[in-house]
Structure 1
Amino acid sequence: MRAKDIMVDDVICIDVKESVFDAAELLLGSGVSAAPVVDDKGVIVGIVSEADLIHRAEIETAAKKSWLARLLDSEASAAHDFVAANTRRVSDVMTKEVVTATEDATLGELVGLMERHGIKRIPIVRGRIPVGVVSRSDLLRALLSREPDRPVLQPTDKALRQAVVEALEHRPWTSKWPTNVFANDGVVHLWGFVDGEEVRKAYRVAAENVPGVRRVKSHLRALPPSVGMGV
């Protein structure tokens, strides 16, 4: 799946010449927490979010610093804080270095951008024109759309056991210790020894993802690291 498959294409934008009050009204009225800021040609020049608008002198929420922080503060930093709390222009409070992606970006690329930059949403652009937005909520909807269906015909226990065995083979974490799989009426039982709790969990998850498995009961015993090192 790609950005174009999950993005919200009804993009709510705000003109760069608008005021912070216009921005607040737009965010509230549209039910969004951030919006791209565009120039008169529709080109994205920034993004403004609720976080950019809540530290304001009008409502006595301007950022307050300790006396020591104020003492050590540079003139530029103090001036920046004053502008953020008192300006009326969106252009003064918006984030100018906007992280964007194209319509063909994969979901993996979008998640990577979000994690790397600590952001919750990414404007999707064609050239520099916003054509959509992908948020973390959109990624969750994509996940739900891929929820596996139960097979129409339940496999036999013998076939199910074989499918689970194959799913567990040749993994980087496959245990070098003896393990075994049993299946009974769609319930899979895992027995044996594995190298640690994370590997034990990986066995369960791999088995749960095999079509036809209704439930997994893990009887695997996680060995301490000292055993795995041959101590």
Structure 2
Amino acid sequence: MQAQDIMTTPVVTIAASASVAEAADLMLTRNIRCLPVVGDDGSLAGIITEGDFLRRGELGTRRARPRWLEFLVGPGKLADEYVRSSGRRVAEVMTASVVSAAPGASLAEVVELMATHDIKNVPILDADKIVGIVSRSDLMRILLRTLPKSGSATVDDEIIRRNILAELRGQSWSVGGDLIGVTVDKGDVELSGAIFDERQRQAAVVAAENVAGVKKVTDKLFCAGPFSVVLVS
């Protein structure tokens, strides 16, 4: 799945010359958490988010530092912070360096950008023009659609068992999954066998729960400890 498959479009944007009040009003009216900022030619010039309204002189939340620390920070950074906390135009408070992605970017790439840069929204650009935006909410909607639904169709027990074993064997933390036994009776799963770390227990249960047709998972695994040797015939 690609960014263009889940992005929100059309995108609500704002001009760099607009006022901070206009930006705040638009975000509240449209119930959105960020606004891509566009220049006169329609290209992306920056982005303004809820976080840009946190440190404001009007709220009494402007960053305060001891005098000695202000000396170390330097006048340039202090001046920049003053502009961002007191500016009246969007161009003065927006983030100009925007992390963006192409329409064909994978969801994994978009999520990596969010995690690496600690951001909640990724504008999607095509030829420097914004064509959409992917937010955490968009990802949650996709997650909700893909999660197993309760009351799903009955699946044959042997198919369930094979699918659980395949999932376990595909995970590096399960050490091949060869020491974990799986039995299934009318959708009820029982896990048995050995693990070497207690954290593997919950991971094995989650792996089983995620297989279609599973109704309940019973954990009968035992922890052999990291230095134990288990012989398998």
Q: Same fold (TM over 0.5)?
A: yes
Alignment of 1:6-85 (within 5 A): 6-85=6-85
**Would the alpha carbon gap of residues 160 and 3 (structure 1) be closer, same or farther in structure 2, given more than 3 Å must change?**
closer
User: What residue ranges of structure 1 are gaps of 5+ in the alignment?
Assistant: none
Q: Distance in 2 between matches of 1:98 and 1:159?
A: 47
Alignment of 1:1-231 (within 5 A): 1-148=1-148, 152-155=153-156, 157-169=157-169, 171-172=171-172, 173-174=174-175, 178-227=179-228
Q: What are the superposed Cα offsets for residues 53-108 of structure 1, whole Å, 9 maximum, x if unpaired?
A: 23222333222112332232311122112222222221121111101111111111
Aligned length: 229
SS in 2 for 1:219: strand
TM-score, structure 1 as length reference? 0.88
Question: How far apart are residue 19 of structure 1 and its match?
Answer: 1.7
- The answer on whether the counterparts of 2:195 and 2:225 sit within 8 Å (CA) in structure 1 is no
SS in 2 for 1:102: coil
Off by >6 Å, runs of 4+ in structure 1: none
Q: What are the superposed Cα offsets for residues 127-169 of structure 1, whole Å, 9 maximum, x if unpaired?
A: 11111111011101111111235653431x4554444444434
Q: Distance in 1 between matches of 2:170 and 2:56?
A: 58
- The answer on whether the counterparts of 1:195 and 1:228 sit within 8 Å (CA) in structure 2 is no
- The answer on whether the counterparts of 1:3 and 1:102 sit within 8 Å (CA) in structure 2 is yes
2:89 aligned partner, one-letter code:
R
The root-mean-square deviation of aligned C-alpha atoms, in Å, is 2.4
Q: Distance in 2 between matches of 1:165 and 1:72?
A: 58
TM-score, structure 2 as length reference? 0.87
SS in 1 for 2:35: strand
Q: Distance in 1 between matches of 2:60 and 2:148?
A: 51
The sequence identity of aligned pairs, in percent, is 36
SS in 2 for 1:58: helix
SS in 1 for 2:228: helix
**Would the alpha carbon gap of residues 190 and 69 (structure 1) be closer, same or farther in structure 2, given more than 3 Å must change?**
same
- The answer on whether the counterparts of 1:175 and 1:195 sit within 8 Å (CA) in structure 2 is no
